[in-house]
Amino acid sequence: MTDQRVDVLAEPKHKEPYLQGLLLRYSVFALAFVVLLLGLVLLKWWLIGLGLVGIALGIYDIVQDKHAILRNYPLSGHVRYVLENFRPEIRQYLLEDDQVQVPFSRQQRALAYQRAKNVSDTNAFGTLEDVYQSGKEWFLQSTLSHPLKETNFRIRVGGARCLQPYDISVFNISAMSFGSLSAAAIEALNQGAKLGGFAHDTGEGAISPYHKKHGGDLIWELGTGYFGCRNHDGTFSAQKFAERSRLEQVKMIEIKLSQGAKPGKGGVLPKEKITAEIAETRDISMDKDCISPASHSAFETPRELVRFWQQLRELSGGKPVGFKLCVGQPWQFMGIVKAMLAEDNYPDFIVIDGAEGGTGAAPVEFMDNVGMPLVDGFLLVHNTLVGAGIRDKIKIGVSGKLISAFDIARMLAIGADWCNSARGFMFAVGCIQSRSCHTNKCPTGVATQDPYRQRALDVPDKAQRVYNFHKNTLKAMAAIVGAVGLDHPKDLRPYHIARRMDDGSIKLLSKFYYFTEKGVLLDLSARAEIFNQMWVMANPDSFLADNEALIAYNNDARIKPPVPNRQRTPTKREELEPDDLGNNGVGRDPSPDRIDSVDLSATHYYTYEDDPH
């Protein structure tokens, strides 16, 4: 028994000899002494200097108490910091796979650069992709395909109450403020937008002189700070808004509820970073930090939001007004839709941003783990509007890593009206994805306020690239639309795209995603029961969920047989093609009682009975 006892004081078997360890740790430091001695013997001043610098740095490393690595490994420890510093560059230039997205792959960036530089974007020898891999998607071309001459695709934004509708391009520059982007980048983007006749979203940092210099169409975004139209206490100023929104260049107004990379997060611009120009543009003081609160002060309920957009519409002289959001709690969006119905007042547009969206700066947890991805968010909004019978009154724009013509055509096919890109246009003005927007040290002068770094960005040259990127992307999309046998991307449908499933089979997107029928939410007859449940929880007078209503609804549903609508006769198509999930859309799913058991996977049911547009 005693033999088997563990000796807790025993020396580890492979203990490094003390001297060896010492040598390992101090060898480079010792080398500095050798260099100094050699310099003294040979009377070489550069060796003496090198040795002295090495010794001084080594002593500093041992004495300082911030970095344990340097204390243990004087001089040699610096190698770690150097490598760590250059890791992204080493990875990007030497090690990165062409298709690994960090967040954009080398292939995606190369495509944007080629299109921006107007050089050939064709490749040889066939696809590099595995066409049998799960999730792979492709358009189904037509034997009646034809080339399209017109590529300047536009759609009209502006509902019944709008007096100045805007014919927006199907591809535009997404919101990025002056402040997060440099003056030179803003100028280049706006001049490019002017050349190509497309829209440039100001971002929440207000309309700067650089937005106005070239006269490109603007979408003025109002965030929670109401920059450019605020009172001294940070609340909304109707008078300032009326003055500035009537600027001819401002074509639409966008209320920002949230953005995909940091939904639900406010922001602070420290006073040290507030230049006189930023202060004047944003209407803020230079003496204190500039706070963007997490939520709006102009409204507290869905109904107040509806009244706010109507106020903006009137103050701007009837321009299209809409809002941008990354979908969070679905019943809150549905509460807004209920308020629209109650007030009979609709936004002219909604922009959905996905969690995959970009930002100048955000905590990593927000970028990674808060907010709904684009397709799920879009389908929720689109289906809710169809289900409420008002989809035709509102146009939907989308953003979130849409960079190639396929990305754009795909979103239009599943029902979006137009697409925005932020980082695609950043690539067009020279961004190399160094991911240093938050450090003020952007190496290309795109996302920095440092005047010296900005000087590297040649505005006329980059404006031309912005124009080219837009033009060539739409040209490539026109080729897809023509190949499918259509004349305009608004005619693309989810059944024009096939998708490889996990089991190797293929499915049309019209079957892969759930598309609801018109008006079904109004009598709670959506096939995906989850939509009925979330609709029940939505409240036009509060952003809080009505849990009582959900519990009552579910109890009621258990007692009563399903309402006749839910037992509707299957359509011819449904009879012919039963759902792959074994549910032909008739009847009800089991009903959860509690919000936390709500299952959003319902977005993967299907029908293509209803046309999404």
Ligand X SMILES: Cc1cc2nc3c(=O)[nH]c(=O)nc-3n(C[C@H](O)[C@H](O)[C@H](O)COP(=O)(O)O)c2cc1C
Binding site residues, ligand X, CB under 6 A: 174-177, 180, 203-205, 221, 256, 259-260, 324, 353, 357-360, 399-402, 421-424, 437, 447
Helices (H), 73-147: 78-90, 106-117
Q: Per DSSP, what are the bridge partners of residue 168?
A: 155
User: To the nearest whole angstrom, how small is the minimum distance from the Cβ of residue 115 to ligand X?
Assistant: 14
C-beta of 61 vs 201, nearer to ligand X: 201
User: To the nearest whole angstrom, how small is the minimum distance from the Cβ of residue 363 to ligand X?
Assistant: 15
Structure tokens at 479: 């080729």
- CB burial of 54-82 (b: ≥16 within 10 Å; e: otherwise) equals bbebbeebbeeeeeeebeebbbbbbeeee
User: To the nearest whole angstrom, how small is the minimum distance from the Cβ of residue 490 to ligand X?
Assistant: 21
400 closest CA partner among 430, 357, 367: 357
User: To the nearest whole angstrom, how small is the minimum distance from the Cβ of residue 143 to ligand X?
Assistant: 34
Our CA dihedral for 295, 356, 93, 476, rounded to 10 degrees, sits at -120
Structure tokens at 459: 């505005």
C-beta of 32 vs 437, nearer to ligand X: 437
Q: Which residues contact 272 (CB under 8 A, 6 or more apart)?
A: none
To which H or E segment does residue 269 belong? strand 267-269
C-beta of 354 vs 494, nearer to ligand X: 354
Q: Give φ, ψ of 167 to 5 degrees.
A: -90, 95
The CA distance from 73 to 79, in Å, is 10
User: To the nearest whole angstrom, how small is the minimum distance from the Cβ of residue 446 to ligand X?
Assistant: 8
User: To the nearest whole angstrom, how small is the minimum distance from the Cβ of residue 592 to ligand X?
Assistant: 32
C-beta of 70 vs 459, nearer to ligand X: 459
User: To the nearest whole angstrom, how small is the minimum distance from the Cβ of residue 439 to ligand X?
Assistant: 12
- CB burial of 423-450 (b: ≥16 within 10 Å; e: otherwise) equals bbbbbbbbbbbbeebeeeebebbbbbbe
C-beta of 36 vs 437, nearer to ligand X: 437
DSSP classification of residue 22: H
Q: Which residues contact 208 (CB under 8 A, 6 or more apart)?
A: 178, 183, 186, 202, 277, 281
CA distance between the termini of the chain: 81
C-beta of 259 vs 384, nearer to ligand X: 259
The CA distance from 99 to 463, in Å, is 28
C-beta of 26 vs 425, nearer to ligand X: 425
Q: What value, to the nearest 5°, has the Cα angle with vertex 274 and ends 269 and 279?
A: 105
SS3 content of the chain, % helix, strand, coil (to 5): 45, 10, 45
C-beta of 420 vs 603, nearer to ligand X: 420
The CA distance from 83 to 557, in Å, is 62
Instruction: Please report how many Cα atoms fall inside a 13 Å half-sphere around the Cα of residue 382, on the Cβ side.
Output: 26
C-beta of 77 vs 360, nearer to ligand X: 360
Rounded to 10°, the helix 330-343/302-315 angle is 60
Q: Among all chains, which residue has been given the structure tokens 């190698």?
A: 79
Query: Is-contact 612 386, C-beta < 8 A?
Result: yes
User: To the nearest whole angstrom, how small is the minimum distance from the Cβ of residue 437 to ligand X?
Assistant: 5
User: To the nearest whole angstrom, how small is the minimum distance from the Cβ of residue 131 to ligand X?
Assistant: 25
User: To the nearest whole angstrom, how small is the minimum distance from the Cβ of residue 570 to ligand X?
Assistant: 39
User: To the nearest whole angstrom, how small is the minimum distance from the Cβ of residue 441 to ligand X?
Assistant: 14
User: To the nearest whole angstrom, how small is the minimum distance from the Cβ of residue 242 to ligand X?
Assistant: 22
**Residue 6 burial (CB < 10 Å; 0-12/13-18/19+)?**
exposed
C-beta of 37 vs 361, nearer to ligand X: 361
User: To the nearest whole angstrom, how small is the minimum distance from the Cβ of residue 406 to ligand X?
Assistant: 15
Query: Is-contact 469 116, C-beta < 8 A?
Result: yes
Cα–Cα distances (Å) from 281 to 210, 212, 274, 315, 588, in that order, read 10, 12, 11, 20, 54
C-beta of 399 vs 525, nearer to ligand X: 399
User: To the nearest whole angstrom, how small is the minimum distance from the Cβ of residue 593 to ligand X?
Assistant: 36
User: To the nearest whole angstrom, how small is the minimum distance from the Cβ of residue 491 to ligand X?
Assistant: 24
253 closest CA partner among 272, 229, 271: 229
C-beta of 447 vs 481, nearer to ligand X: 447
Q: Per DSSP, what are the bridge partners of residue 506?
A: 500
C-beta of 20 vs 369, nearer to ligand X: 369
